[in-house]
Amino acid sequence: MTDEAPAGPPADPAPAKPAQPRNPLHGLTLEAIVTSLADWYGWEQLGELVPIRCFQIDPSVGSSLKFLRKTPWAREKVESLYLFMLREQRREQQQQQQPPRE
């Protein structure tokens, strides 16, 4: 006989994250969002749309990520602009696919 305690039930693993199939931000990194916005709008226009210094003065993805990770209100604005950009892109695609009206 051993003095070992009987093995109890295994510890619960971390709770599974709920699936978010309708969330367009799910699975995207902040870096991917900032890069997409900078590619679509350019840094100058991005600095006008979201007036924060990291977009206006010597902009870079790295400096933007540092600031946005520490500043929830700015991150919300950037994520909101990203969702708006996705809607704009979808509209453009739909307009290109529609045959011209006579």
Instruction: Render pLDDT for 25-69 as a digit per residue (tens, 0 to 9).
Output: 777 899 999 999 999 999 999 999 999 999 999 999 999 999 999
Share of the chain above pLDDT 70, in %: 75
- The model's pTM: 0.72
- 96 and 57 Cβ atoms separated by less than 8 Å: no
How far is it, in rounded angstroms, from Cα 83 to Cα 63?
22
Whether 16 has a pLDDT exceeding 70, the answer reads no
Other beta carbons within 10 angstroms of residue 98's beta carbon come to 8
